[in-house]
Amino acid sequence: MASTKTQVYRPDVLSRRNEFIAWGSFAAAGLGVLFFQNYANAVLPQWVTFGVGVLFVLAGGLSLGNWMDRRTSLQFSAEGLEFRNGLRHIQMSWQEVGALQIMPSRLGKAVRVTGRKGRFSFTVAGGLKIRGNTQGKFGFANGDEIIKEIVRRGGLSLISHSAATTYYARS
């Protein structure tokens, strides 16, 4: 019998420090380009302007990722599951959950849940490692518990398992 208690899971999120560094780098580079073009009357190579554009895209991507991570939640109830991340909102009953795929990566396990109403992905207990030291944790710390619950409540069976992927589906 499924638990009647609603469970809400939220991922660990990375510090916003890298986001601030990225925006600061973009601002400094942008101001440098403006200064050299307008006050020093220097003609800068086109790759410099392109580089400032790349810094803008990187900073924007970090901001979007942080914004989504801070709004991510996975909720289980007796009726089904609900995933939100700021851009996506998916609800599935347990009978609509069709498959769960686990793919190991250097940043943690990537998990994809697929159903009739759509699909969503999340990361299990990932971490950013630099020189063997974990610099930041992200993803769902209790991700293995989440996977077991989805498999159990969704009535999924192990279909295949290899070093590259583990696949559960409705039999």
Q: What is the pLDDT of residue 165?
A: 92
Given a cut of 50, is residue 149 above it in pLDDT?
yes
State pLDDT tens for residues 11-33. Answer: 887 778 888 999 999 999 999 88
Average pLDDT over every residue of 84-108: 90
Tell which wins on pLDDT, 3 or 81. 81
Res. 2 pLDDT band, cuts 50 70 90 = very low
Query: How many CB atoms are located within 10 Å of the residue 161 CB?
Result: 11
Does pLDDT of 167 surpass 70? yes
Query: Looking at the DSSP assignment, which residues form a beta bridge with residue 69?
Result: none
pLDDT at 54 over 80: yes
Tell if the pTM clears 0.95, that is, is over it. Answer: no
Are the C-beta atoms of 90 and 82 separated by less than 8 Å?
yes
In DSSP notation, 53-105 reads HHHHHHHHHHHHHHHHHHT-EEEE-SSEEEEE-SS-EEEEEGGGEEEEEEEEE
Q: Model confidence over 83-92: pLDDT tens digits? A: 999 888 999 9
For position 163, what pLDDT does the model report?
Answer: 84
Q: Is the pLDDT of residue 154 over 50?
A: yes
CA 94 – CA 151 distance, rounded (Å): 10
Residue ranges covered by each domain of the chain: 94-170
Q: What token pair was written down for 26?
A: 């973009």
Q: Is the pLDDT of residue 134 over 70?
A: no
How far apart CA 108 and CA 143 sit, in angstroms, is 10
132, pLDDT greater than 90: no
